[in-house]
Amino acid sequence: MYDLIIFIVLLALGYGFGRYAESKHYKSIIKREKELNKIPAVATRIPPIRRQDLNSQLVAGNVVISIDYFKRFIAGLRNIFGGRVTSYETLLDRARREAILRMKEEAEKLNAELVFNIKLETSSIHKGRGNSIGSVEVLAYGTALYPS
């Protein structure tokens, strides 16, 4: 009986705080993305030939982000029925965008014009109970080109 009460309380806490944290995070991501749109980040491997006067420097940004209890429960249910696991989709979307933003913030400090050869790397670093994914780390890195 107590187990059930604790489970329901955890679900409710996860639902409430998780939703709040996610919407807050998305607002901040969208706001910062607009500001940092002036530094394009592209996945091309070859830098522009016409611009030979730029310096290059490696920039990186990483973030570790955790899923909440409610969403993990929903994802567990999805394992039975199959289909899109939207709760993990938003988790990974947030993590990738945040990592790219942090990388761009570092590039902005260098006064960079653009960031080349973006690589994204995802790894799950903390497994929850039953081998479900608890939190993911995303690393974004690339070469910032800045005028000397």
Partner 1 sequence: MIVSNLEVVPGKRTIKHFGLVQGSSVRAKHVGRDFMAGLKNIFGGELKGYTELLQESREEAYNRMLEQAKATGANAVLNVRFSTSSIAAGAAELFAYGTAVTLE
CB of 93 to partner 1, least distance (A): 14
C-beta of 11 vs 36, nearer to partner 1: 11
Place of tokens 């910062």: 32
CB of 80 to partner 1, least distance (A): 21
C-beta of 32 vs 56, nearer to partner 1: 56
Place of tokens 């919407």: 23
Interface mask (CB under 8 A) for partner 1, residues 16-55, using x and -?
A: -xx--xx--x-------------------xxxxx-xxxxx
123 binds partner 1 (CB under 8 A): yes
145 binds partner 1 (CB under 8 A): yes
- The 3-state secondary structure of 90-113 reads HHHHHHHHHHHHHHHHHHHHCCCC
56 binds partner 1 (CB under 8 A): yes
69 binds partner 1 (CB under 8 A): yes
User: CA nearest 33: which of 120, 121, 112, 96?
Assistant: 96
Answer whether 127's CB lies under 8 Å from 133's CB: yes
Instruction: Give the Cα separation of 131 and 87 in Å (integer).
Output: 16
Q: Where do the H-state alpha helices sit in the chain?
A: 2-36, 69-81, 86-109
Residues contributing to the site for partner 1 (CB under 8 A): 10, 13-14, 17-18, 21-22, 25, 45-49, 51-58, 60, 62-69, 71-72, 98, 116-117, 119, 121, 123-128, 134-135, 137, 139, 141-143, 145
